[in-house]
Copies of this chain bind each other. A is one copy, B any other.
Amino acid sequence: MKTFLDNINKAFESRVRLGIMSVLMVEDRVDFNTLKDTLQLTDGNLASHLRALEDAEYLRVEKQFVGRKPNTSYLATEAGREAFKNHLDALEQLILNNRQAD
């Protein structure tokens, strides 16, 4: 029991972070508003989870100008992709263990 729970990554526990990482696994780079609309979150809620994932070095932030407008994009890091895949594998294991017990 303990073993596969160990592989469940606390950094991805919240569903907001599951959502953010799911988007970043598919899209190379995503801007703040796209994430916000896709996940239907408030600015503050999204920003705090993005910061936590950035602190864990699972995503990185790129700021650039589109014309004269500043634009902030978010990208999953290699470490983030790897960690998220491991997390999904651990969740899958949990699901399988529960199904077997049915």
By a beta-carbon cutoff of 8 Å, the part of chain A in contact with chain B is 1-2, 5, 8, 10, 13-15, 18-19, 22-23, 25-26, 38-40, 84, 88, 91-92, 94-95, 97-99, 101
Partner of A22, one of B1, B13, B14, B39: B1
Q: Kindly list chain B residues whose C-beta atoms are within 8 Å of the C-beta of A13.
A: 13-15
Our pick among B8, B22, B39 for the contact of A97 (Cβ within 8 Å) is B22
Q: Interface of chain A, helix or strand or loop or mixed?
A: helix
Copies in the complex: 2
Q: With A and B bound together, what is the CA distance between A26 and B22 in angstroms? A: 30
Shortest Cβ distance from A102 into B: residue? B25
A18-B8 in contact (CB<8A): yes
